Amino acid sequence: MPDKLKSLFDKKEKLVVGLMSGTSRDGIDAALVKILGSGGDTRIELIKFICVPYEDAIREGLEALTPLCSVAEISRLNFLIGGAFANAALSVIDESGTDRKLIDLIGSHGQTVYHNPPSRDDGIPSTLQLGELDVIAEATGVTTVGDFRTRDIAAGGEGAPLVPYADYILFMKPGEVRIAQNIGGIANATVITESLEDVTAFDTGPGNMLMDRVMSISTSGRKQFDKDGEYASRGKADEKLLNELLADPYFMKPPPKSTGEELFGVERAEALVSRVRSGEISLDDLIATLLELTVKSISLSYERFIFPRFRASEIIFSGGGCRNPVLMERLRTEFNEIKCSATDDYGIPADAKESVAFAILANELVSGNPGNLTRVTGASHRVPMGKIVLARL
């Protein structure tokens, strides 16, 4: 074992940067985390969190990706995004006032550009995240872990959700059942029980993704999302369209399951925007309908797959959706008999939880622990997740 890797394995307290860019593709979340221990004994302290927007060249490159995109363009973006992730890591370190030489590890989720889990039953299961790890390690001088999803898929799993193990570490409370509900581009729920073996999780469906894509397409990129729920607050949900969208087979499919751009991305958004352009529905009403789709798909998922087995005492929300007051008000109304809180109430900003989670998962790998949960992903067994790129020797 190389000395650098052995020293990481032996070290009980580490400074780790977690990097995350989700399906919204708007930028990179970077969290500097102090991590003590590993596994169920893990304790964390969030030192600094920032969000670094993507430069136009990256955002435009990602939006232009299609199944017919050239290998050359994918290769170029892989290195370009790796550089952006490296810069985000260095920025959060510098803004925290921490000496770069003190950083032990970087955990990078990368930018997902393709995800074909077994549940889609569409050829060979596979997944692809861009953001070259060697570029990050070389630019920062820090050992970097990434490419977390592939090993779980190789073991027969969905490769998602990956955060439930971190949710358990962060929010498990003896004697209670909690639900960690993330609302990013895709919404996912983790049922956190006292026993790790009973933790379950799955993607409930679209979070902000369809709303964001529709806003961007409708405004020719001038607006990337519905800030403060402005459009949704003016509109009224179209019940016929809502029921049409809720009839998608994904919502009835039992876990384990995961989804993303392939089902609720640009193609679906463009079809919906065409209804606005034809005068069938106003943009305000469409956004209100898509917001209601997020609410109802979460609620129906709970009714079908969670509440028959678990009695939850609290829902802890995270993700960019927490910054949409209209969405959060609807969710609190929908779940008015359950305590609703946010990760902010536990010292982790709602936007930061996913990047914190990948810092934790990187720490688990270098500590020799598996990071997936078979009940969640459907993998045949627990596996170490991620690839390690050593810093300069």
- For 44, the enclosing helix (H) or strand (E) is strand 43-53
pTM for this entry: 0.90
Fold type of domain 164-346: Nucleotidyltransferase; domain 5 (3.30.420)
What per-residue confidence (pLDDT) applies to 393? Answer: 76
Q: Which CATH architecture has domain 3-159+352-389?
A: 2-Layer Sandwich (3.30)
Name the 3-class secondary structure at 36: strand
What per-residue confidence (pLDDT) applies to 8? Answer: 83
Of 56, 322, 93, nearest to 187 (Cα)?
322
Mind listing the pLDDT tens digit of every residue in the chain (393 residues)?
A: 567 777 888 888 999 999 999 777 779 999 999 999 999 899 999 999 999 999 988 988 888 887 778 899 999 999 999 999 999 999 999 999 999 999 999 999 999 988 899 988 899 999 999 999 999 999 999 999 999 999 999 999 999 889 999 999 999 999 999 999 999 999 999 999 999 999 999 999 999 999 999 999 999 989 989 999 999 999 999 999 999 999 999 999 999 998 888 889 889 999 999 999 999 999 999 999 999 999 999 999 999 999 999 999 999 999 999 999 999 999 999 999 999 999 999 999 999 999 999 999 999 999 999 999 999 999 999 999 999 999 987
Q: How far apart are CA 36 and CA 42, in angstroms?
A: 6
Angle (nearest 5°) at CA 169 between 165 and 173: 120
Helix 3-10 vs helix 353-366: angle between axes, to the nearest 10 degrees? 110
What per-residue confidence (pLDDT) applies to 140? Answer: 98
**Cβ(158)–Cβ(262) under 8 Å?**
no
Q: How far apart are CA 128 and CA 312, in angstroms?
A: 34
Delimiting residues of CATH 3.30.420.40 domain(s) in the chain: 3-159+352-389, 164-346
What per-residue confidence (pLDDT) applies to 37? Answer: 95
Per the structure block, which two tokens stand in for 87?
A: 């810069």
What per-residue confidence (pLDDT) applies to 2? Answer: 66
